[in-house]
Amino acid sequence: MGKKVLVVGQGGREHALVWKLALSPEIDKIYAAPGNPGIAELAECVEIGVDEVYKLARFAEEKGIDLTVVGPEAPLMAGIVDIFSEKGLLIFGPASEAARLEGSKVFTKNLLEKYGIPTAAYKTFADADEALNFARKFTEKGQKVVIKADGLAAGKGVVVAESLEEASEAIENIMRKKTLGEAGNQVVIEEFLSGEEVSVFALSDGKDFVVLAAAQDHKQVFDGDKGPNTGGMGAYINPPLYDEVLAEKVKDRIIAPVIEAMRKEGVPYTGVLYAGLMVEDGDPKVLEFNVRFGDPEAQVILPMIKGDIFPLFFKIAEGTLGDFKVEMEEGSCVCVVLASGGYPGSYEKGKTITGIDKLNPDTMIFHAGTALKEGKLVTNGGRVLNVVCRGKDIKESVDKVYKEVEKISFEGMHYRRDIGYKALLREGLN
Ligand code: AMP
Ligand code: GLY
């Protein structure tokens, strides 16, 4: 009998997950909670929020769901995997204890140190004065220093301080004024790493793992990496920086030892391991881990996985990955995010979106902040749409995607015009 799958989430990442799962011949029904209008073309959307973990479990039980796939981190931290597992429901993602790899920077840094996994030199503090004294050791030498709130802070928990004053302000805000709430009870103070960032995505069943691919995100809102940080304005797969030599180092020095460390600690890691790395002189160091696919990185990785993804996700959830092999498509894939005017600050919603019907048939469009109003597609969030194109190389996919982007419009729409520029520079193509 065909399988039933539930996807939890409502962004571009979850649309890409649903799109990829919908290609599986093994699946005959996909539900999404809560989903979005793009997802609704492929799945039945149900009005349950991502944080309503008990409701989601009841829904999965009632519908006889064979596998639940969780997109965002919040339900993972809230223990969705623990609750589903107690009920004997199969679910793809880490249990809440293992999700601390994203949820607690103190936990992660201590784990990395204990197992000798490369990361920036650091100390952790629960006392603001002691934290500042340690930060001073860096600024005295004219070095930058990085202050990180321990807990989840929606991208606002990391401050790169250029001076003691900046470090002091960050520590004051995080630890005394508690601008990030409980997330600021402890901080990590660490050395500043220079180099180029890359994100590597692996899947593990707790014991074995597969590395899918690397991608590069574009966090700042404006071209040339200027302006405030966003959730991500675009991404591309296979950054040239991530060659075979680096891939081997990442696997041997980071991914394999972390999976092994988590197992030894009694918190086996299952699901997506997203390693945020800094690479300098060919050597990778861990900046952070996330316990889910990146958004928009998922939108360029999922379309490049060869074949049916359902058996892979199923084996990961079941703990039977073994030596299962995953192959990736040749070539390149690029995603450009179309955002609302004002994003990442405040923005208006409800702007009519036009032009999607004019896209080439091989262009993928993944919805994020959209809604249907009187039968018309309108904006409903900061990041609105993801336009994704494949090509034989980065240049071809970038050229394609920008031609497609021009066909779409809504009032206030803005996007970065330089997605993939680092790769093009490296390859001498821009
Ligand atoms: P994180 O959430 O720890 O990945 O930090 C967010 C961003 O801050 C990273 O993507 C980097 O751009 C920057 N960052 C974090 N830690 C460091 C570090 N030790 N050195 C330089 N940049 C860092
Ligand atoms: N694109 C960055 C993230 O998903 O965290």
Q: What is the CATH number of the domain that holds 161?
A: 3.30.1490.20
Give the number of the atom of ligand 1 that is nearest the alpha carbon of residue 193: 20
Ligand 2: distance of its center to the CA of 235 in Å? 10
Q: Which of 134, 156, 191 is the last residue of a domain?
A: 191
Q: With 90 as the cut, is the pLDDT of residue 156 above it? A: no
Ligand nearest to the CA of 215: 2
Ligand 1: distance of its center to the CA of 153 in Å? 13
Average pLDDT over residues 99-124: 97
Lowest mean pLDDT of 115-129, 143-157, 256-270, 409-423, name the range: 143-157
Assess if residue 320 is contained within a domain. Answer: yes
Residue nearest to atom 16 of ligand 1 (CA): 287
Assess if residue 217 is contained within a domain. Answer: yes
Q: Are residues 176 and 200 in the same domain?
A: no
Per-residue model confidence as pLDDT tens digits over 225-235:
999 989 999 99
Q: What is the mean pLDDT of the chain?
A: 96
Average pLDDT over residues 375-403: 97
Per-residue pLDDT at 141: 96
Q: Are residues 129 and 68 in the same domain?
A: no
Q: Are residues 318 and 351 in the same domain?
A: yes
* Angle formed at CA 216 by CA 424 and CA 100, multiple of 5 degrees: 170
Cβ-based neighbours of 155, under 8 Å, separated by 6 or more: 229, 231
What dihedral angle (degrees, nearest 10) is formed by the CA atoms of 40, 41, 43, 48? 0
Q: Are residues 29 and 174 in the same domain?
A: no
Per-residue pLDDT at 85: 97
For residue 299, the domain's CATH number is 3.30.470.20
Q: Which of 139, 165, 191 is the last residue of a domain?
A: 191
Q: With 70 as the cut, is the pLDDT of residue 430 above it? A: no
Q: Are residues 357 and 398 in the same domain?
A: yes
Show the 3-state SS of the chain: CCEEEEEEECCHHHHHHHHHHHCCCCEEEEEEEECCCCHHHCCEECCCCCCCHHHHHHHHHHHCCCEEEECCHHHHHCCHHHHHHHCCCCEECCCCCCCHHHHCHHHHHHHHHHCCCCECCEEEECCHHHHHHHHHHHHCCCCCEEEEECCCCCCCCEEEECCHHHHHHHHHHHHHCCCCHHHHCCEEEEECCCCEEEEEEEEEECCCEEEEEEEEECCEEECCCEEEECCCCEEEECCCCCCHHHHHHHHHHHHHHHHHHHHHCCCCCEEEEEEEEEEECCEEEEEEEECCCCCCHHHHHHHHECCCCHHHHHHHHHCCCCCCCCCECCCEEEEEEEECCCCCCCCCCCCECECHHHCCCCCEEEECCEEEECCEEEECCCEEEEEEEEECCHHHHHHHHHHHHCCCECCCCECCCCCCHHHHHHCCCC
Whether residue 234 has its Cβ less than 6 Å from ligand 2: no
Neighbours of 298 (CB within 10 A): 28
Choice from 76, 217, 337, 416 to test ligand 2 binding pocket (greatest atom count within 8 A of CB) = 217
Q: Are residues 201 and 275 in the same domain?
A: yes
Neighbours of 184 (CB within 10 A): 23
Whether residue 294 has its Cβ less than 6 Å from ligand 2: yes
Ligand 1: distance of its center to the CA of 109 in Å? 13
Average pLDDT over residues 338-348: 97
Assess if residue 213 is contained within a domain. Answer: yes
Whether residue 9 has its Cβ less than 6 Å from ligand 2: no
Average pLDDT over residues 173-190: 95
Whether residue 120 has its Cβ less than 6 Å from ligand 1: yes
Average pLDDT over residues 390-408: 97
Per-residue pLDDT at 257: 98
- C-alpha span between 151 and 153 (Å, rounded): 6
Per-residue pLDDT at 75: 97
Ligand nearest to the CA of 73: 2
Residue nearest to atom 15 of ligand 1 (CA): 287
Ligand 1: distance of its center to the CA of 274 in Å? 14
Whether residue 190 has its Cβ less than 6 Å from ligand 1: yes
Average pLDDT over residues 130-151: 96
Whether residue 12 has its Cβ less than 6 Å from ligand 2: no
Neighbours of 301 (CB within 10 A): 27
Per-residue pLDDT at 296: 98
Whether residue 332 has its Cβ less than 6 Å from ligand 2: no
Domains identified in the chain, total number:
3
Q: Are residues 261 and 393 in the same domain?
A: yes
Assess if residue 104 is contained within a domain. Answer: no
Assess if residue 336 is contained within a domain. Answer: yes
Q: Are 4 and 69 in contact (CB under 8 A)?
A: no
352 forms bridges with which residues in the sheet?
A: 378
Whether residue 287 has its Cβ less than 6 Å from ligand 1: yes
Whether residue 290 has its Cβ less than 6 Å from ligand 2: yes
Q: Are residues 168 and 238 in the same domain?
A: no
Assess if residue 114 is contained within a domain. Answer: no
Q: Are residues 257 and 378 in the same domain?
A: yes
Choice from 17, 297, 366 to test ligand 2 binding pocket (greatest atom count within 8 A of CB) = 297
Query: For residue 396, with 0-12 CB atoms within 10 Å meaning exposed, 13-18 middle and 19 or more buried, which class applies?
Result: middle
Ligand 2: distance of its center to the CA of 109 in Å? 19
Q: Are residues 374 and 255 in the same domain?
A: yes
Assess if residue 409 is contained within a domain. Answer: yes
Give the number of the atom of ligand 2 that is nearest the alpha carbon of residue 293: 4
Average pLDDT over residues 302-331: 97
Q: Are residues 205 and 181 in the same domain?
A: no
The identity of residue 290, as a single letter, is N
Q: Are residues 186 and 206 in the same domain?
A: no
Which domain, by its residues, includes 220?
Answer: 196-426
Residue nearest to atom 4 of ligand 2 (CA): 294
Q: With 70 as the cut, is the pLDDT of residue 24 above it? A: yes
Assess if residue 333 is contained within a domain. Answer: yes
Q: Which of 168, 191, 214 is the last residue of a domain?
A: 191
For residue 83, the domain's CATH number is 3.40.50.20
Whether residue 146 has its Cβ less than 6 Å from ligand 1: yes
Q: How far is CA 223 from CA 366, 389, 423, in A?
A: 22, 20, 14
Give the number of the atom of ligand 1 that is nearest the alpha carbon of residue 194: 21
Tell me the percentage of the chain whose pLDDT exceeds 70.
100
